[in-house]
Every structure is written in structure tokens, then in C-alpha cells.
Amino acid sequence: METVTTIDEIRAALERDRAAGRSVGFVPTMGYLHAGHLSLVEASVAGNDVTVVSIFVNPLQFAEGEDLDAYPRDLAADSAECRAAGVDYVFAPSVEEMYPTPVDTTVTVASVAAPLEGAHRPTHFAGVATVVAKLFSIVGPCRAYFGAKDWQQVAVVTTMAADLSMPVEVVACPIVREPDGLAMSSRNVYLTPEERAQAPVLRRALDTGLEVLRAGERDPVVVEAAMREVLAAAPLAAPDYVAAVPADTLVADGPLHGDVRVLVAARFGRARLIDNDGLRLG
């Protein structure tokens, strides 16, 4: 495994691989890797000749007052995990390497970036789309692996890649959870023991949403109310949003039908956690 910090070097290495007929799998991350990230790595290693993992805490996707400075980092541990998982390249650029001059060009995705996360973090998805566009440009033609944990992010990146004819196949991978149902996240380290004990309420709220839908409820307002009631039982959870929406548009437009997604975002002290699940209504 090679660790590469410059754009020129990783671009040249991957161009050599493709020229030799090797397919490239790409896993973009912000590091502090856990089993969720490693499931993406595993899918990439299984499906491609060469795997590159990027580790870059992207300042553009953090708003003023968010946790950019506190975001956990451990490149040595991440590299060891990547090596053990069969990764070929870790691309770990500095902020100066990625953004040597003030960013003047950004990518925005209109419709699917607007609700939910977009409504609560108005600059977030432009930051994500811009860094992912840049990384896709650096890595070149590849399969790129993203986690369904960030469901709306997958929708934003898929839309961007299609709209801009990027030579990238976006692959969405299932959410990896702790045994008690909490979705794995680098931000879980922020949780105090008391908050950690209550955090699985997110999974329970999603389960309740799915149960209510399976029982025949189709009104998103009623489904969301049932989910909110579950969250209300956890005093340390401050919900940002609770949603039951069409899985593609993420905006309810009347009774639910077809592929439905239930999503939650809540703050537990310093940690803002998100989770989602889905089902297909017959």
C-alpha cells in the first residue's frame, strides 16, 4: 500500500493502473475509519483490481460553528486499517493541496440537496458536491463507494455524476450498525456514556416509522408523529428533523407509495447524528 499526498502523484498512479487494464474502486472518507467505512473498502476490493481510499476532512462542508476543528483524526490507525483491508493507495492530501487558492468554483445540486440535511445545513451539500467532484476529477474513471447511512448524500452525488457526465459509477452500500442498532459514525466518539446509552433511540424511531407504514399508514405526517414520539422518550435527544418521504425526491407530495425512506437527525450534546431506513410499499 502506498500513501500519497499530492494530486499529481495519485492521478499518475491511477492512470498507470487503468492503462494496464486495471479497474479502479474509490472510497472517499473523512477518516477516523470504522467498520462502516471498511464495509465500503471491502466492496471496492472485491469488485475492482485497485482500491484507493481518500482521507480528507473537507473544510468546505462544515459551516461556521460546526465541528471542523474537533473532528476526530488518526491517519496512522486509518492507514493500518486500510493496509489490512487490501487497499492499494491511501490519498491523504492537505487542505493546501486540495484548496491552494480560495475556492471560486463550487458545485451545487438543486432539488435533492434542498430538503432535510440541506434545510438544516444550507452550505453542506455544496461543500460535499464540490469536494467529490474534485476527487472524481483527480481519481478519474472508477466505481465510487458511498454508504447509505448518508442517504441524501448518495442522492446528491449520484445526481451530480449523472448531470455532469462524470465517468464514475456510484455504488451505495448498506448501513453498518453497532450491536444495539446505533449506526456507526466517526462522530459517535463525541457521545458521553449517558448520550451513548440513549442514542439507539434513532434506530427505534426508524423501526417505529417502518412498522406504522407496514401496518398500512400512508400519511407522512402521521408516520413522522409516531417517530417523534419515540424520540421524545430520550431526554438527551434534540431532533433536527424526522421524515417519511419518497426515497428518490425526499419530499412528501401526498400519501406515501412505492420506495419510501424514513430519516432522522438529532443532536445528543456535541454530536449531531443521522440515520435512515427504507421499505417498498406494495
Collapsing DSSP to helix, strand or coil, 73 comes out as coil
Give min distance, CB of 266 to ligand AMP, in A: 16
Residue (14 or 273) nearer to ligand AMP, CB: 273
Taking the CA atoms of residue 264, residue 269, residue 271 and residue 277 in that order, the dihedral angle to the nearest 10 degrees is -20
Question: Which range, of 147-155, 202-210, 230-238, 239-247, touches ligand AMP by CB under 6 A?
Answer: 147-155
Which amino acid would we find at residue 44? S
DSSP bridge pairs for 169 = 143
Site string for ligand AMP, 26-65 (x = CB under 6 A): ---xx-----xx-xx-------------------------
Give min distance, CB of 19 to ligand AMP, in A: 28
First to last CA, the chain: 47
Site string for ligand AMP, 160-179 (x = CB under 6 A): -------------x-xx---
* Catalytic residue (choose from 34, 37, 120, 124): 37
Kindly state whether residue 114 participates in binding ligand AMP, applying the rule CB under 6 A: no
Collapsing DSSP to helix, strand or coil, 240 comes out as strand
Closest CA to 95 of 139, 56, 52: 56
280 CB-near residues (< 8 Å, 6+ apart): 258, 259, 260
Residue (13 or 175) nearer to ligand AMP, CB: 175
Q: Measured over all CA atoms, what is the biggest interatomic distance in the chain, rounded to whole angstroms?
A: 57
Helix axes 75-85, 35-47, angle to 10 degrees: 40
Given 127, 147, 200, 220, the residue binding ligand AMP (CB under 6 A) = 147
**Looking at the annotation, which residues are catalytic?**
37
Report the interface residues with ligand AMP, using CB under 6 A: 29-30, 36-37, 39-40, 146-147, 149-150, 173, 175-176, 183-186
